[in-house]
A and B are shown apart, each in its own frame.
Chain A
Amino acid sequence: MALFQKILVANRGEIAARIIRACRELNIRTVAVYSEADRNAPHVRMADEALPIGPAPARESYLSIERVLDAALKSGAQAVHPGYGFLSENAAFAKAVRDAGTVFVGPGAEAIRAMGDKEEARARMQARGVPIVPGFQAADDDSSLAVGADTLGYPVLVKAAAGGGGKAMRIVESPEGLPDALSAARREAQNAFGDARLFLEKYIQDARHIEFQILADMRGRTLHLFERECSIQRRHQKIIEETPSPLLDQELRAKMGAAAVEAARAVGYVNAGTIEFIVDPGTLEFYFLEMNTRLQVEHPITEQTTGVDLVQWQIRIAAGEPLPFEQSSLSQRGHAVECRVYAEDPENQFLPSTGTLLRVIEPQGPGIRVDSGVDTGAEITVHYDPMIAKVIVAAATREAAIRKMHSALHDYVLLGVKTNIEFLQQVLHHPEFIAGQATTRFIDQYFSNWISPAPDAAAIIIAAALTESPSDANAPAAAPGEPDPYNPWARGDAFRLGANSP
């Protein structure tokens, strides 16, 4: 029984590959879409069909509702899976897909819209009794915001109402810094979201970012699949995630899980989503931060510990299937960690690194999973997100998982662009990370001017010279200096097989 005949994957890179694999296991045919830059990308080759949707810039391809919808209709797909990023949290896209008679694998457009407006999301949570970060959103003019900031108490966080992802956000330490922060944030918000509305939140300095996975079916069964700790962030971009969180005990987990379910119910949520909380490690108070109405990048760690395939469940829910398990039958086993591999140069202020991947060898072994959208020969360009792969490990304990991640990252060969792999290794070695106490300030505190430890220069330089040296030196070796006595090619005479020598 096929849930759908055909699904169009409205995304690229590793998540497109992930969705295509899930579809294949469910016996569903897949349609990939690709920009000109992704003509030879792995996700294109993996799909059953592929349609071009425009030039490289995302705005003209993956972000174009018209082009993606056109491809869906042309291909005859019954459903569209938006992945994460791009159009996944675009309410207009969800609506357009449904208006065209196609299933959108995700929540309703109204839920996307309600949670996409950060001010409205906070208001709804407050009405529902879900604790929110203390904030101010009663008015949007600069003088009201200044009064609001004084009432809240500095430091405050200036945020855009129309979107998140760290964009148009400013931390303000004192009243003097507020006017500039407001004007800068308004400019960025206008550029990023087309909406300059701002609100304020109290800035909790040493916070833990802990999010809960939600799955809800069309019959109203809403469950959580436990938490993910995502405090290791650089410039509001997550780099390492893990589950279970070292901070939570069963009681706090149950309380937060219940709040997450309540938050999802508040907007009649259907399908997979994530509620993000900020936890004050000192008081163990938790506050709703925002909801992501889509699959998260870090979903694999939940899959590894719960045994639930989230992408397959997204598709099943969209096809109308009810969730066959209850909250009490869900549990987590062991510990999982994910590291995001970025094409960036940590020694050049983490600026993007582009180029051709000359060689890719992904680590493997028990408990090692690599979700990637690249292989040898892939072009890393300036047009898209710099994340090229995720390394996920699962083990019985947190210590074992960290050891396994070290081993996996060590074995990951990526030649051709700079990556943050060595940086990740150093982060994993840090005592505060090992103690499970890292907050969202961890990277800034300990890794602001990171320099990679010096390599074994002699071996590197010798390897480089050997690589450069003329090819006779690179011939497959018999033991050097000892000729093979049976090698006919080394004979100087006129030996021929099957004929008399002259």
Chain B
Amino acid sequence: MKYNFLLAGTIESIDLLKTGRGYRAQWRGKEFLIGAVEHRNGELSFTVNGRQERTFVAVDGNRIWIWLDGKTIALAEANEAKRVRRMSEHGDAGERIIAAPMPGSVSVVKVSDGESVGKGDVLFVLEAMKMEIQVRAHRAGTLVRLNARPGQTVERDQVLAEIE
């Protein structure tokens, strides 16, 4: 069975085939033999080509969190991977979307729908954990589809407005 994950900005595909003794996996043209899979209470251990790996895993709907050897990684699943990739392309001059760079609450909305904005203009001020972040226009244009109100709580990558 094929799986796709977004890891560190790249889509990774892995094919997992069940065998009598475990699995055979194919990833980036390499083959891996996986055995001794035990998954109990969030602790997932297995061997990869004979090497023992011990991990802790948890899923929160659209992300898989994995602890392995002191490092913690979050991967996004395939369909989620596409959405996340689109969101992370905001900085490009061609993109229209203004999105929240972090979770927080909107403390100031400095623009109104239909207003002309210049590149670098401060559009919103977000507040979170005692920090204030200014969200600026990455290009000049007309601000449309304003989707933020003072006091509103937003998530990271949530769309706040678009610039045409």
What residues make up the interface of A, taking CB atoms closer than 8 Å to B? 348, 351-356, 358-359, 361, 382-386, 409-411, 413-416, 418-419, 421-422, 425, 452, 454-469, 473-474, 476-477, 479-481
Contact = CB atoms under 8 A, between A and B. Distances in A.
5 contacts: A348-B102, A354-B103, A461-B75, A468-B77, A480-B21
A352 B60 contact: no
B8 A465 contact: no
A419 B66 contact: no
Contacts of A409: 70
Most buried by A among B56, B70, B105: B70
Interface stretch (B39-47, B91-99, B113-121, B141-149): B39-47
B68 A459 contact: yes
Nearest to A425: B70
B64 interface: yes
Most buried by B among A354, A359, A454, A459: A459
Contacts of A414: 72
B133 interface: yes
B73 A382 contact: no
Nearest to B60: A358
Given A382-B128, A477-B36, A418 B74 contact: yes
Given A457-B7, A461-B5, A473-B37, A385 B64 contact: no
Interface residues of B, number: 62
Contacts of B53: 459, 462-463
Given A351-B133, A416-B58, A455 B71 contact: yes
Nearest to A475: B39
Given A415-B65, A460-B66, A460-B73, A480 B22 contact: yes
A212 to B, nearest CB: 26
Given A359-B58, A418-B72, A458-B30, 15 more contacts: A351-B101, A352-B103, A359-B67, A382-B129, A384-B129, A416-B58, A457-B7, A459-B55, A460-B68, A462-B25, A463-B55, A463-B68, A466-B44, A467-B57, A477-B37
A239 to B, nearest CB: 15
Contact of A474 (B21, B35, B39): B39
B14 interface: yes
Pairs A-B, 8 closest by C-beta atoms:
A358-B58, A410-B70, A415-B65, A351-B102, A481-B20, A382-B128, A474-B39, A415-B58
